[in-house]
Structure 1
Amino acid sequence: MTDAQPNLSRANTPPVAARRPVSEQRHGVMLVDDYAWLRDENWREAMHDPSLLHADIAAYLAAENTYTDTYMAPLSSLRQTLVAELRGRIAERDTSVPTPDGDWFYYVRFREAGQHPIFCRAPRADNDARPAEAPMPEDGLSGEQILLDGDAEAHGRAYFSLGEVNHSRDHRLLAFALDERGSEAYTLHVRDIQTQREIQPPIPNTTGNLMWSADSATLFFTTLDDNHRPCKVWRLALGDAPEHAELVYSEPDAGFFVSVDTTQSDRFILINAHDHATSETRFIDSATPWATPRLIAERVEGQEYSVEDDGDDFVLMTNADGAEDFKLVRTPIATPAREHWQTVVEHEPGRLLLDHIEFADFRVRMERADALPRIVITDKTRGLDHAIRFDAEAYSLGIAPGYEHDTATLRFIYSAPNTPDETYDYDMATRTRQLRKRRAVPSGFQPENYVVRRLHARAADGADVPVTLIHHVDTPLDGSAPCLLHGYGAYGISEPAAFSSSRFSLIDRGFVHATAHVRGGKECGYRWYANGKLAHKPNTFSDFIAVAEHLAATGYSAAGRIVPHGGSAGGMLVGAVLNQRPDLWGAAIADVPFVDVLNTMLDETLPLTPPEWPEWGNPRDDVAAFETIRSYCPYQNVSAQAYPPILAIAGVSDPRVTYWEPAKWVAKLRAHKTDDNPLLLKTHMAAGHGGLPGRFTALEETALIYAFVLDAFDMAQSATDSAPDNNANTPIRANEVY
């Protein structure tokens, strides 16, 4: 037995990791890391093949998994109940609303018990006259051709996840990206659609990002460096071996990522270079794919822009010239430099522009004001704007622009915490909308059984933090209800007030579900993001605590009955608030948590560290950044105090949050905490940042989380004995189409 392997003779005996102190001095501070040995020197190779982990490390992770499995074994019946319940809210046979492109409709469907999507198309002429009111066939449209069968592709593979799936402009070929390890290193394949034969050798070590030229004879793609950074753009003549690909662009700055994209018109291939605060774009006419890329505007630190084309001009969405919440500018394609930019849509403080799309006769922009999204349409021929508005207190919107450029139809998806996704086709000329599909929840879900609220909690510095909340109409609001409180607050990513069918396994058992829209996201504009990053990062954590206190003060829950839940940077949030206010929490879920932020940001050799410095700061060179990060870093601030029950989840193949961060954090917590509450670490040995693949397999992890939470509140037995029956058994078709 190694010193990393625990004694598991009793079910309640947790693993104990050996302490092997490693010390280094930074900015006059001695940092001592007792568990640095959990970072395998061979981590790059182990990310792609976990069997290569050092024996001591593999033994410790296995011991933690065994302990977690042993602890959770009495809850197996509850987990089975939850999996069945979660699956019961998913339409087994399902079809997306077909998207037109030329002579075809393209769509995705799932078969009964199918784990993975089936990519299909059908002739447009055979289906275009289909009445909108008719039910959509669950097994596809007439004349269907299967382009890629995800279930068949996954057969025999231990791990299977698809990246981009993209048909060529001439509709003859299909390019798709496949990850077989969970490491997000994708292999590209190209098949002839009619024969299903691959027309060239696979292309390894890509990001999964790919684009076609106008003549369908050239493929653009991006590859990774040794630190898993997307850094090179290539083009390859179809049929050539990967080694014959030509390098189009190589990004020299270790802090920047690259990607390829196209404008809505498909006229231009875009080569984007960016970090979290700065961007730069080059373009190639898609009709001349072997031309030299041209720069639109050189990068300026702290300035971003995204690109569409409109006639002889590019239209850019940018925060240049003090437009903190972004504006739209127009510039000639022939001379796109900054000195030729002319404003199209003025900057309006507090109204954050999120996206824009240029159709032939209409401009669409997505924006957010007062923490709610809206869609604004510009009729270019008449110069008139109008907004698509919604009346709900909290809701989510998404745009699905499709393949066509010369169209008056905009497809968007609407949902709310108590409203399943609704897909609409909106006529931008007549200003009318048509509901094409409502997501089915086969268990008999009824929206009127739930209350959705938008609250505001007063932060320590006076900021009003939005909170989206949902609970059952029968849930008492006297402080007795447990609450799952979700948060993220990083990279400017906003948490949508969207529908999630899984949440109702807790909500129907008396939980309140809340989302804290803390600073670090962009819910309240770009400044909301800026005030939750770098030196202002502590605001993210104090905002979350303020939300929890507000929920307790208003009777939605109570201190000690709230469960913080977050993943990745949201897992950092969970770790920080556990250290700062352990009294508020009844349990905690940290999913692939970024908890060792100080050590990670000090090491530029780790995956993605230099690109992260604009978000967190560079503690290696900046004393102030070092002190700020050290003040909140979850791993650095573990102390001798009582912590609530904690479940942490990790993945050995994770390139974003390396497995040793949660492993070290759990080891340190176990050595310091003064309570007897359970502390569990579940490490997926063959999965990465996204967890388990497959739409039903992924439910097992959700059931694990929910069972742990229910058990923490002594609700496991009652939850097992009877599944909730808060909804009438109203039959719902597998697909409702209007």
Structure 2
Amino acid sequence: MSDSTAPQAKQIPTERTHHGDTFVDHYEWLREKDSPEVLEHLHAENAYAEAVTAAQKPLRERVFEEIKHRTVETDLSVPSRRGDWWYFTRTIEGEQHPVYCRVAAGPAADVSPQETGAGENDGEHGSWTPPQVEAGVTLEGEQTFFDTNAEAAQHPFYQLGGLSLNAEGTLLAYSEDTSGDEHYTVRFRDLSTGENHPEQIGNVHGGPVLEPTGRRAYYMVADAAWRPYRLYMHTLGTPAEQDRLILEISDEQLWTGVGLSADKRELVIISGNSEYDESRLLDVTDPQAEPVLLIGAERRLLHSIDPIDVDGERLLLITHNQSGPNNALSVTTAAALTAQAADADPEVDSDPDQPLDLGKPVLPHEETVKLEGVSVTAAQIIVTARRNTVESVQLLSLDALRAARTGADPVRTSTLPGPDFEEELYTCAVIAAEYEAPLFRVAYESWLTPTRIYDIDHATAEPVLRRETPVHDVDLEAYRATRIWAPTGDTRADGSAIEVPVTVLHHRDVVADGTNPTLVYGYGSYEMSMDPSFGIPRLSLLDRGIVFAIAHIRGGGELGRGWYEDGKKLKKMNTFTDFIAATDHLILQGWADPARVAALGGSAGGLLMGAVANLAPEKYVAILAQVPFVDNLTTILDPELPLSALEWEEWGNPITDPEVYRYMKSYAPYENVRELAYPAIAAVTSLNDTRVLYVEPAKWVQVLREHQRGESPVVLKIEMDGGHGGASGRYETWKERAWDYAFIAHHLGADQKLGAGQDLSGSEPRR
């Protein structure tokens, strides 16, 4: 077989029967990852993809160089204070990974609680104003405590799972994945010597958590389905075989995560899914402590827990959906919750159908504001909320909490003060809120504003700009971002029309005249919002006259919990029809040439791409699906596969529910490929992906080619040393993005930049 001939996998019929329905799968054998025949086939797919896209290579190289040129390769982060150290990262030109550095600071006790970080002590390490770090200039006393490049040089793939430091900054616990399968190894480093301890812990899920003294580390282990379900405590200096099992969660539908409370006294343990959580606290100051159940899964309450001390009393802030889908905030105590826990006392009435007593209301439920969560500090509470798609921060005083505790009326989230920003569409997220600090730090960005780091004083709420990410040779005034609303044809219970928000990004020289090549991006699952974010690679498309449209479709969280619930389970089809409606509206409004529209999505957004390809292939000249979840029914029908059981809360359980089975089968991309003229399709995946297995797109492209009645190519590009996020390292990531964008631009007939001698309005799409 030549590289220019599409690889044809042999057919081995495998029957799957559920609810009286039998599906014959001819390519299930491609799941045998270690089979030499499978690996040979995957290499052949890569060779075919390379041959088919050979003409795009010069464009890929140009896009890669544009990304590389615009990115400040030797760069740094703003130092963040923890204890008596300032921590920051450096990236170095030519290196793939960041270097973690620190420099000593004056004792935090030297700083008055009223100090704002901007005053006569600016620049001194004893203040909360970060030291000025310059690229290529080493600070006096600067230490490199973890060089990711040196660690990664020993492996074809390298990814950090997490870093955790003790309070004194003398011990570092970190986890690393060297294959891309997200099985991590935990190691411990003495920062006074730079040497690793001999002990290590293998097969860990995610990163470790050190308690403040550094004597103990907590970590999660996953089961065969790659669900984190066991929490262990490791005592430094002892063999991993002696680690104490703290907790095991047997419910296969619960995913467990852990993190220290803001004051680092307790480990907050949340086991949950997209519809409900179970919460526990563990006292990390006591090595013999047992987790204390606060709210059990049987309550079916979606919630989070944040401990806080107020006037010497230990309280719990509960963000929960008991009062409504957009969440409310209540204040209570651990004792009040444990008294209601199902396993606390058999004599206690713990009827899960009765509402929990969650204490006093602090922030009530609001129909137009989604309360995302809170960050606790000793000065005040930082509230993260979303209104009209925009997520930002508001400030809740401890006095307001005290008033709520004594029975005062709750304060509406929408009335809380917060920092003001000029742009209409932006993202503002808390990235550092040290418990005793006089300020907290946020990252701000928009579609056309590179990330800015602000420190915000607790007393004044005034943002102090610490840094804006530099970008080389870009006139950001040359681009525009606007919001349009696409009608879906659906209505709400009150009769109002349901419209999909669509963000339109374009070069200022591009106007809505019906001639533009357009790329429509979407995701629409798991209540994940496609929030405004600045991306250098995207500029290469805008410079070629391509309109980049983000469809904020149902299944995401942009318009609150209801927006998500209207795009899951037996309403999942709304996600796909919303995307098509957004495409139609872009054409109607003149933003898109109907013959020059492409689509892009990844993971669950890859499922979106597969569904749209079957529903409306004629609307797109090219579709690019990244790590696509296109054989979703097969996966979710097998609870032994990674993460499958956890997916039942998102899609429904097709094993036990015939209605769910029939509904999922009606849109499952792999099972609905038909005799159609499909657009050019590229499926991009990784061999070691544990979230969406490579076999899904490998099977999908086979049936697409069998049923393709057009002349457009269908290719599979597979990273043989990568995971769900692709290859490791920033340069490899840029190459992958350049491949993706070159594929899109080529098929849109938009290879050349605006003003580079090509009349884009006359370009022909390439199928």
User: 2: distance between equivalents of 1:59 and 1:137?
Assistant: 45
Summarize the Cα distance change of 1:252–1:351 in structure 2 as closer, same or farther, 3 Å threshold: same
Q: Using structure 2 for the length normalisation, give the TM-score.
A: 0.89
Would you say how many aligned residue pairs link Structure 1 and Structure 2? 702
User: 1: distance between equivalents of 2:686 and 2:45?
Assistant: 13
| SS of corresponding position for 2:332 | strand
Q: Which amino acid aligns with 2:364?
A: E
Superposed, which structure 2 residues align to 1:278-677 within 5 Å?
Answer: 278-300=276-298, 302-311=300-309, 312-337=313-338, 338-339=356-357, 341-381=359-399, 385-402=416-433, 404-442=434-472, 444-461=473-490, 462-677=497-712
| SS of corresponding position for 2:282 | strand
Q: Which has the higher contact order (CA 8 A, sep 6+)?
A: 1
**Aligned counterpart in structure 2 of residue 144 of structure 1, from 142, 145, 153:** 142
User: 2: distance between equivalents of 1:239 and 1:358?
Assistant: 33
Q: Is the 2:305–2:319 Cα contact (8 Å) retained in structure 1?
A: no
| SS of corresponding position for 1:697 | helix
Q: How far is the alpha carbon of 1:657 from its aligned partner?
A: 0.4
Paired position in structure 1 for 2:220 = 222
Superposed, which structure 2 residues align to 1:272-283 within 5 Å?
Answer: 272-283=270-281
Q: Is the 1:164–1:208 Cα contact (8 Å) retained in structure 2?
A: yes
Q: Is the 1:235–1:245 Cα contact (8 Å) retained in structure 2?
A: yes
Q: Which amino acid aligns with 2:385?
A: E
Q: Is the 1:571–1:594 Cα contact (8 Å) retained in structure 2?
A: yes
| SS of corresponding position for 1:460 | strand
Deviations 1:645-665 (A, max 9, x none): 111111110110011100000
Q: Is the 1:95–1:139 Cα contact (8 Å) retained in structure 2?
A: no
Summarize the Cα distance change of 1:522–1:300 in structure 2 as closer, same or farther, 3 Å threshold: farther
Q: Which amino acid aligns with 1:178?
A: E
Q: Is the 1:95–1:140 Cα contact (8 Å) retained in structure 2?
A: no
User: 2: distance between equivalents of 1:110 and 1:282?
Assistant: 38
User: 2: distance between equivalents of 1:212 and 1:191?
Assistant: 12
Q: Is the 1:362–1:378 Cα contact (8 Å) retained in structure 2?
A: yes
Summarize the Cα distance change of 1:115–1:637 in structure 2 as closer, same or farther, 3 Å threshold: same
Paired position in structure 2 for 1:705 = 740
Q: Is the 1:81–1:723 Cα contact (8 Å) retained in structure 2?
A: no
Summarize the Cα distance change of 1:465–1:720 in structure 2 as closer, same or farther, 3 Å threshold: closer
Summarize the Cα distance change of 1:348–1:269 in structure 2 as closer, same or farther, 3 Å threshold: same
Aligned residues with identical type, % of pairs = 33
Which of 253-262 and 14-23 deviates more? 14-23
Which of 376-385 and 420-429 deviates more? 376-385
Pairing 1:684–2:719 present: yes
Q: How far is the alpha carbon of 1:134 from its aligned partner?
A: 5.7
Pairing 1:88–2:82 present: no
User: 1: distance between equivalents of 2:358 and 2:487?
Assistant: 44
User: 2: distance between equivalents of 1:78 and 1:720?
Assistant: 14
**Aligned counterpart in structure 2 of residue 186 of structure 1, from 184, 187, 191:** 184
Paired position in structure 2 for 1:109 = 90
Unmatched tracts of structure 2, length 5 or more = 107-123, 339-355, 402-410, 491-496, 759-767
Unmatched tracts of structure 1, length 5 or more = 1-6, 44-52, 725-738
Q: Which amino acid aligns with 1:204?
A: G
Q: How far is the alpha carbon of 1:668 from its aligned partner?
A: 0.4
User: 2: distance between equivalents of 1:585 and 1:668?
Assistant: 19
Superposed, which structure 2 residues align to 1:155-234 within 5 Å?
Answer: 155-234=153-232
Q: How far is the alpha carbon of 1:131 from its aligned partner?
A: 7.4
Q: How far is the alpha carbon of 1:382 from its aligned partner?
A: 6.4
Paired position in structure 2 for 1:257 = 255
Q: Is the 1:219–1:238 Cα contact (8 Å) retained in structure 2?
A: yes
Pairing 1:72–2:53 present: yes
**Aligned counterpart in structure 2 of residue 19 of structure 1, from 11, 15, 22:** 11
| SS of corresponding position for 1:336 | helix
Q: Is the 1:572–1:594 Cα contact (8 Å) retained in structure 2?
A: yes
Q: Is the 1:174–1:192 Cα contact (8 Å) retained in structure 2?
A: yes
User: 1: distance between equivalents of 2:530 and 2:715?
Assistant: 27
Deviations 1:286-345 (A, max 9, x none): 221331111111123542111111213443343342321011111113333443522111
The RMSD of aligned alpha carbons is: 2.0
Q: Using structure 1 for the length normalisation, give the TM-score.
A: 0.92
| SS of corresponding position for 2:489 | coil
User: 1: distance between equivalents of 2:244 and 2:45?
Assistant: 46
Deviations 1:674-707 (A, max 9, x none): 0110111011112110101101111111111111
**Aligned counterpart in structure 1 of residue 78 of structure 2, from 72, 83, 97:** 97
Q: Is the 1:111–1:139 Cα contact (8 Å) retained in structure 2?
A: no
Q: Which amino acid aligns with 2:471?
A: V
Which of 74-83 and 152-161 deviates more? 74-83
| SS of corresponding position for 2:679 | coil
Which of 380-389 and 478-487 deviates more? 380-389
Q: How far is the alpha carbon of 1:568 from its aligned partner?
A: 0.3
**Aligned counterpart in structure 1 of residue 2 of structure 2, from 2, 8, 15:** 8
Deviations 1:579-633 (A, max 9, x none): 1011111211100000001111111111111111010111111011001101111
